[in-house]
Amino acid sequence: MPSAAEPAAPVDSTELDLFRETVRRFFAAEAEPHYTRWEADGIIPRDFYRRMGAAGLLCVDQPEEYSGGGAPFEFAMVVLEEAGRMGYLALASNLTVHSDIVAPYLLHLGSEEQKRRWLPQMAAGECIGAIAMTEPGAGSDLQGMRTMAIADGDGYVVNGSKTFITNGQNADIVVLATKTDPAAGAKGTTLFAVDTSLPGFKRGRNLEKIGLHAADTSELFFDNLRVPVTAVLGRIGGGFGHLIDELPRERLALAVTAVGHAAGALEKTIDYVTQRKAFGAAVANFQNTRFELARMKTDLEVHRAFAEKCTRLYADRRLDVPTAAMVKLASTEMEGRVTDACLQLFGGYGYMTEYPISRYFADARIQRIYGGTSEIMKEVIARSLVGR
């Protein structure tokens, strides 16, 4: 891995393009025929993760010593961008949590024992990861969390609950944020790598949502869950700082996915308006349609450029928290504008679930909420400019 002062080597664009084609072919063969059923079931089957692992599409930039692909960071982002472009935002969301949040937490914060135990299984798709931060009464206010881990002998006893947890039904490992010292504020937060097979771990409902129907999004409960001290991830009391350190990758991943998702929606819309006729002419011949397409394409490419810049910054370990907030805010807001305008060009058919554009529209809405709401992003950016 390069140091902060040593930029990563430039990525071979030919290799990146070849990898992109591999990802597209894999999703076309392995996801496209089954995605409607996954949406009806409310979950992506575990076997699909194993197939992704066998194809080398999980934990793509994880070091080879932990069975990852050892590829440059840009390759990991291609997987998310293509999942979004093909309209599989629920899949992209699950993969982001698994490969681009949980795995990096373990890689950057875990002990050698934790890395050896979990990371090879995650790369193979044999173990699925989730991160549990949000609580029913706290939302974006992570310092308001109430889940407690109380030291007890050679371990901790955890009690509390989490909600809106992506991969919650499938998860084998959960990166869990808890309070270990309620009086210490942010410095009293600790992360744990929780084995979900332990007694006291309970899964609640697979929550129903207006979009992302193929993603399992769950309530999790911890009822006198005893974890060993070896389950601590990072520093005791350092959890809030660890969360801040890892947020840039999460937010960049959401931005890259947003760009891919908007691009896919626009591609489908161009195809539709070119073929659809109204008043004796193709809808694409109307000036309003042409101007809307031009506006959306321009909006998309501006944000693609920003996302690509931030991808390079992250690869060079120079992406800071405010810039990550900017790219997440800008790209997901653009995604909302584009998917909404695309649906409008479909007319009444766009509102019908048989047309994929309706899924693009419904799925896009969550992108301005999870990973930090647009309002929180604005606050993070503002604080970097004028302080509190």
pLDDT at 185: 82
Query: Using CB atoms within 10 A of its CB, is residue 22 exposed (0-12), middle (13-18) or buried (19+)?
Result: middle
pLDDT digits (tens, 9 = 90+) for 178-202: 999 988 887 899 999 999 999 999 9
Give the percent of the chain with pLDDT over 70: 97
- The counts of H helices and E strands in the chain are 12, 10
Q: Contact 35/88 with Cβ under 8 angstroms?
A: yes
**H or E element that contains 163:** strand 155-166
Which band of pLDDT confidence, cut at 50, 70 and 90, is reported for residue 1? very low
- How confident is the model at residue 13, as a pLDDT? 92
Of the residues 39, 250, 292, 335, only one is catalytic, namely 250
Q: Taking a C-beta distance cutoff of 8 angstroms, is the pair 303, 331 a contact?
A: yes
Q: Taking 70 as the threshold, does the pLDDT of residue 142 lie above it?
A: no
Look at 8-12, 68-72, 80-84, 147-151 and tell me which has the smallest mean pLDDT.
8-12
d(CA 85, CA 65) in angstroms, rounded, equals: 31
User: Burial, 316: exposed, middle or buried (Cβ in 10 Å; 0-12, 13-18, 19+)?
Assistant: middle
Count of beta carbons in the 10 Å neighbourhood of residue 277: 11
CATH topology of domain 240-386: Butyryl-CoA Dehydrogenase, subunit A; domain 3 (1.20.140)
pLDDT of residue 144: 75
Topology of the domain covering 13-128: Butyryl-Coa Dehydrogenase, subunit A; domain 1 (1.10.540)
Query: Residue 378 and residue 329: Cα distance in Å, rounded?
Result: 8
Residue with tokens 């766009």: 350
**How far apart are alpha carbons 315 and 311 in whole angstroms?**
6
Q: How far apart are CA 86 and CA 362, in angstroms?
A: 15
Cβ contact 296:369 at 8 Å: no
pLDDT at 320 over 80: yes
- Which of 368, 308, 310 has its CA nearest to residue 334? 368
pLDDT at 141 over 80: no
- Average pLDDT on 250-266 reads 98
What residue segments make up the domains of the chain, in order of their start?
13-128, 131-237, 240-386
Largest CA distance in the chain: 79
The predicted-structure confidence for 23-56, as pLDDT tens digits, reads as follows 999 999 999 999 999 999 999 999 999 999 999 9
Task: Assign domain 131-237 to a CATH class.
Answer: mainly beta
pLDDT band at 278 (very low <50, low <70, confident <90, very high): confident
Q: How confident is the model at residue 3 (pLDDT cuts 50, 70, 90)?
A: very low
Q: How far apart are CA 237 and CA 179, in angstroms?
A: 8
Tell me the β-bridge partners of 277: 282
Collect all residues with Cβ–Cβ distance below 8 Å to 91 and sequence separation of at least 6. 31, 35, 44, 83, 214, 215
Closest by CA to 296, choosing from 324, 276, 272, 269, is 269
Instruction: Reply yes or no on whether the pLDDT at 373 is more than 60.
Output: yes
Tokens at residue 124, please?
A: 């193979």
What is the chain's mean pLDDT, rounded?
A: 95
Average pLDDT over residues 338-364: 97
Report the residue count for the chain.
388
Closest Cα to residue 166, out of 199, 127, 133?
133
pLDDT at res. 2: 43
pLDDT score recorded for residue 336: 98
Look up residue 143 and give its two tokens. 């310092």
Question: Is 39 noted as a catalytic residue in this protein?
Answer: no
Confidence band for 7, pLDDT divided at 50, 70 and 90: confident
